[in-house]
Amino acid sequence: MRMWVYVVRRILLLFPVIIGVMTITFAILSALPIQTHLIATFGASKIPYTPMVPCSDVGQPGNGQCRNPTYFQLVHQLGLDQPIWVQWAEYMKNSLTLNWGTVNYHSNAASAFSLTTSIPVTTVLGWYLPYTLELAALSLIIILAVALPLGNYSAVYRNRPIDQAARVMSFSGFALPGFLLATLVLFAAVILSGGATPTCNSNSTHYFDWYGSWPPFPQCANQPTWIGTYIQTSPTGFPTIDAILHGDWFLAGESVRRMLLPALVIAYGSVAGILRFVRNSMLEVLNLDFIRTARAKGVPETAVVSRHAGRNSLNVTVTVLGLTFAGFIGGFPIIEDVFYLHGVGLLLAKSIQPTQDFGLIFGTTLLFTIIVVVANILVDILYAYLDPRVRLG
């Protein structure tokens, strides 16, 4: 199959998958009781959101129960009285046109991030996604720096102490609960950097050196104008890049330093999978004929490993890295929660807790799904490009 036919076919197959995902989210949404929708959208109310309310009209036909006009008006306002396929079509149209609704200012997420007015979900995602992207990139750099050399060593010295040690190290990272490690690391960092000693005034301690994406501006300094009310930065939205663009090297360093501990925790937790892939693909390549040829013609062993085998084993690694990065964009709810970083993971975690914010939940789900699906296609194409032997089909 020609390359472009393959690409077009994959892109066409994308649509049924995305529509399927949206249908599933729609099914979950419409399986919920109507009262939940009303409470989530309009907030809790003293008058219950039920079709009938008690009233003084004793006798026929309601016998003390009257129609609740508020209920029917609100249901109509949300379009929940429409036939189910009309609601589905409406939902699809809104999803595809990026009209994902607004943030609900009654919700837990809105209060956690003090979003007081109704802001479009896409805007909020646009504010928080860059923070997660930077964190994911930093974690991936750390993972690469560890996994590539260590994986190659493990393959070359297979079943020797270094291989076993690497295995135990990476597995223990996987097996240690992320919330436990992150909290202990935060605790250790607070104590090591001075504990309860005030930093810039009596209300600020070293705890705030490690907590949050930015220093606590109101206590210590004036918040720069390129950081908005909701901690969104301008012009690019990426905190570190924006700080550098504005020449604020202190805040750029601060932003990276605050991401360093979470990134280390994330890297430690997910290095196992990539390390195993690097090791296994290296093992496979080391057994191939051209390696034997290289050795036979007298290429030094270091050159065999680094140049002949290392280059060729990278194909698989690149694809795995792509998928890992796509998975990372899904955010790190737990890590971001512990360190209070302004990322989509924390946003999602807050929006799922009651009172839920359905607009945010389903907007985030859609965003993550699209990212994962597109990353899958990109990785497949990249793989086919890197390894010409791969059969497209």
Partner 1 sequence: MTPVIVPPKGGRPRPGIAQLKRTLYFLSRNTLAIIGLAIVLFFVVVALFSLFSPLSNQSLQQYCSVTYGTNGTVGCQPVCTYDASSGPAPAANCYPTYSGNVGFVGPTVDLTHLTGGPLPLGSMQVSSGTNQYYYSIYDGLLKGSAWSLGIAATIVLSGASIGLVLGAIAGYRGGYTDEVIMRFTDIFLSIPGILLVLVIVASFAGYVQGLEGRMLLLVGAFIITWWPFYTRIVRGQVLVTREQKYVEASRASGAGTGRILTKHIIPNSLYPVFVQLSLDVGAIPLLLGGLIFLGFQIYPSPYFPEWGAMSANSVANLQSLIESCQFGACVFPWWQILFPGLTVFLFAISVNFLSDGLRDALDPRLRR
Q: Which residues bind partner 1 (CB under 8 A)?
A: 13, 16-18, 20-21, 24-25, 28-29, 31-33, 36, 164, 167-168, 171-172, 174-180, 183-184, 186-187, 190-191, 195-196, 205-208, 272, 283, 287, 327, 330, 333-334, 337-338, 348-349, 352-354, 356, 361, 364-365, 368-369, 372-373, 376
Residue 82: CB minimum distance to partner 1, A: 21
Residue 246: CB minimum distance to partner 1, A: 30
SS3 for 374? helix
Classify residue 85 by burial, with Cβ atoms within 10 Å: 0-12, 13-18, 19+.
exposed
Q: What is the CA radius of gyration of the chain?
A: 27
User: Quick check: 256 and 139 in contact, CB under 8 A?
Assistant: no
Which residues neighbour 128 within 8 Å (Cβ) at sequence distance 6 or greater?
A: 342, 343, 344, 346, 347
Strand partners, 52: 67
Residue 280: CB minimum distance to partner 1, A: 8
Nearer to partner 1, 73 or 202 (CB): 202
Residue 52: CB minimum distance to partner 1, A: 20
Instruction: Name the residue among 143, 131, 134, 133 with its Cα closest to residue 264.
Output: 143
Residue 64: CB minimum distance to partner 1, A: 27
Nearer to partner 1, 20 or 51 (CB): 20
Nearer to partner 1, 33 or 61 (CB): 33
Nearer to partner 1, 130 or 216 (CB): 216
Nearer to partner 1, 41 or 364 (CB): 364
Residue 142: CB minimum distance to partner 1, A: 21
Q: Tokens 């020449």 belong to which residue?
A: 247
Q: Beta-strand (E) ranges in the chain?
A: 52-54, 65-67
Residue 67: CB minimum distance to partner 1, A: 25
* End-to-end CA separation in angstroms for the chain: 7
SS3 for 67? strand
Nearer to partner 1, 195 or 300 (CB): 195
Residue 115: CB minimum distance to partner 1, A: 19
Nearer to partner 1, 230 or 340 (CB): 340
Q: Would you state the structure tokens that stand for residue 165, as one six-digit string?
A: 């040690």
User: Quick check: 129 and 238 in contact, CB under 8 A?
Assistant: no
Residue 164: CB minimum distance to partner 1, A: 7
Nearer to partner 1, 143 or 227 (CB): 143
| Amino acid at the residue 146 | V
Cα–Cα separations (whole angstroms), residue 300 to 74, 162, 284, 296, 333:
77, 22, 20, 10, 47
Nearer to partner 1, 111 or 234 (CB): 111
Classify residue 22 by burial, with Cβ atoms within 10 Å: 0-12, 13-18, 19+.
buried
b/e map of 273-297 (b: 16 or more CB within 10 Å)? bbbbbbbebbbebbeeeebeebeee
